[in-house]
Amino acid sequence: MQVVQSNVTNKFTGSVINSMASDTQHTDICLWLDAVATSRDKAAFTQLFHFFAPKILHISQSKLFDKSLANEVVQETMTNVWKKAHLFNSTKGAPTTWVFTIMRNVTFDILRKLQSNKEDNLSEDIWPMIEDQAIEDEPFSDHIEQKNILAVIDKLPKNQQEVIQAYYFMEMSQEQLAQHLDLPLGTVKSRLRLALSKLKEHLGEKE
Amino acid sequence: MINHHPKLNLLIQHVNGELPASISAGIKIHSDMCKQCSEQIAELTKHEAKLSFSQTNVDDAEFGFDVDALINDITQTQPEPEVIPDNKPVAVTFRGVTYKLPNVMKHMELGKPAQIGKLSRSRILLDEGHIHSSLLRIEAGGGIPEHTHNGYEITLLLEGNFKDDMGEYVPGDFIVLDGNHQHQPVSEQGCLCYTVVSDSLHFTQGINKLLNPIGSFIY
Ligand SMILES: [Zn+2]
């Protein structure tokens, strides 16, 4: 895993720095998606649209060299974001990964229809949204089994569960977390440390 | 143990949806059997997603539609019901032997099985021009005469085993060969492979020129 990470980082060093900027949006995106999922919130969807649609248009145009197809990708992707928002699980991966997956799948099916005249929508079989979410993002996979983790997290005190989930599964930074939970940074840090050592203890891990 | 994995380059293109369906399906079959590659794919997807959505100078986006009207339309549609993926197994039968096929093939149409000697083949009707995909079965004791490739040949071993001068292969192995390789696979116990071939095969031994029909059979 480490190896891949560094290869990729070398390949795209310039852009990695930019990607830091998107981290600050991360919490907002999660909240908007959640609002769409739970209360079909139009205002939240509008926010998601303004964040993602221009970027999707830009990516699609450079990929498809065709304006109307690129617009089709935007419409189709954003429609799916609305329709599937409740299927997004923030404990299983980042929201940008989820939207990227939808965009990639939509683009793949459109291209395949063009090139092979097939409307078999194979993307859903090659990159299943539900199943892929399940294998995706195992932050502890290096040393702790994912299947135990969730059970163990349930045993932690509520305030520790909260920080662990947000920090490891939603990939918030400690600063974002402090802001999100309206707690001093120091408190977040000590809760995280505590939660982590409890986790290790429960899982029989040695330091 | 699986020894042959898709190269990083291929995985990056896969994650970005830039490969033909046949090759991406092959990678999916492999990664379902290979934890290492499925983790790499998850990691790469995360990374590519971050890159994609961290662009900043996109304010000048000119949509070819009325944004407010589209948002109105979309937000009036119904959420999609949570469908349980239909994983009823698909299967193929060659000369009375039935093989369960990977899930990724469930919407792929198969051609009629055809036979030459100990080889059976069913085309996978993906309609990708010069890229041909097939299910290829070698009966126990069968093999393919020594050949090279003008293009590339991707073989994903689904069941059984086979070997060539480079070694033995096990289910899940993702084997890529190009014009620089010659090989002569044989299967002692028989096997079923998923193959993607970009050009017809060329037999390298004199007498085997008689086998040209096999070349187009396998392609
Ligand atoms: Zn692998």
Domain with residue A29: its CATH number is 1.10.1740.10
Measured over the CA atoms of residue B169, residue B172, residue B178 and residue B184, the dihedral's sign is: positive
For residue B204, what are the CA distances in angstroms to A205, B119, B141, B147, B212?
A: 57, 19, 21, 5, 11
Domain extent at residue B124: 90-218
Q: State pLDDT tens for residues B24-60.
A: 999 999 999 999 999 999 999 999 999 999 877 676 7
**Domain end call among A97, A126, A155:** A126
CA B151/CA B153 separation, integer angstroms: 7
pLDDT reported for residue A8: 40
Q: Helix axis angle, A42-64 relative to B67-74, nearest 10°? A: 120
Residues 6+ apart with CB under 8 A from B107: A120, A121, A122, A125
Q: Give the model's pLDDT for residue A140.
A: 39
**Which is more confident, B195 or A65?**
B195
- Lowest-confidence range among A89-93, B128-132, B165-169? A89-93
Does the residue A61 lie in any domain?
Answer: yes
- pLDDT over 90 for what percent of chain B? 59
CA angle A132, B52, A177 (to 5 degrees): 75
Q: Which chain A residue's Cα is nearest to B80?
A: A83
> Which positions in chain A touch B47 (Cβ < 8 Å)?
5, 8, 12
Q: Which residue has the higher pLDDT, A21 or B192?
A: B192
In this prediction, residue A6 has a pLDDT band, given cuts at 50, 70 and 90, of very low
CA angle A23, B36, B33 (to 5 degrees): 125
Assign A198 a pLDDT band (cuts: 50, 70, 90): confident
Least-confidence region, from A123-137, A150-164, B189-203 = A123-137
Structure tokens at B12: 């990056």
Q: Residue B8 Cα, ligand 1 centroid: separation in angstroms?
A: 10
- The total number of structural domains in chain B stands at 1
- Is A15 among the domain residues? yes
Q: What gap in Å lies between CA B150 and CA B147, rounded to an integer?
A: 10
DSSP structural state of residue B85: P
Which pLDDT value is given to residue B209? 44
B105 falls within a domain: yes
Chain A residue with minimal CA distance to B59? A54
Residue A14: what pLDDT? 38
- Residue A13's pLDDT is 38
Residues paired with B2 in a beta bridge? none
Question: With bands split at pLDDT 50, 70 and 90, how would you rate the model's confidence at A24?
Answer: low
Q: B210 vs chain A: nearest CA distance in angstroms?
A: 34
A138: in domain = no
Contact A15 B54 (CB under 8 A): yes
Which range of A130-139, A180-189, B81-90, B181-190 scores highest in mean pLDDT? It is B181-190
Compare CB distances from A8 to B44, B56, B61 and report the shortest one's residue.
Answer: B44
Question: Angle formed by the axes of helices A185-202 and A174-181, to 10°?
Answer: 110
Count of Cβ atoms closer than 10 Å to residue A180 Cβ: 18
Give the pLDDT score at B115.
86
Most confidently modeled of A26-35, A181-190, B203-212? A26-35
Banded pLDDT at A85 (limits 50, 70, 90): very high
Please, are residues A146 and A138 in contact by the beta-carbon 8 Å criterion? yes
Chain A residue whose CA is closest to B71: A46
Average pLDDT over residues A95-112: 96
pLDDT greater than 70 at residue B80: yes
- Asked if B114 contacts B120 with a C-beta cutoff of 8 angstroms, the reply is yes
The answer to whether B102 and B96 are in contact (CB under 8 A) is: no
Q: Domain containing A108: what range?
A: 2-126
User: How many domains is chain A built from?
Assistant: 2
Q: Let me know if residue B46 belongs to a domain.
A: no
Whole-number Å distance between alpha carbons of A6 and A13: 10
Helix or strand or coil: residue B193? strand
Q: Please state the rounded mean pLDDT for residues A21-47.
A: 87
Map residue B80 onto helix, strand or coil.
coil
CA distance A89 to A98: 9
Mean pLDDT (chain B) is 86
Calculate mean pLDDT across residues B62-88.
87
Instruction: Average the pLDDT over B75-87 and give the result.
Output: 80
Cα B194 to ligand 1 centre (Å): 16
A167 and A87 part of one domain: no
Average of per-residue pLDDT across A179-201: 78
What is chain A's mean pLDDT, rounded?
A: 77
CATH code at position A148: 1.10.10.10
CB within 8 Å: B42 and A22: no
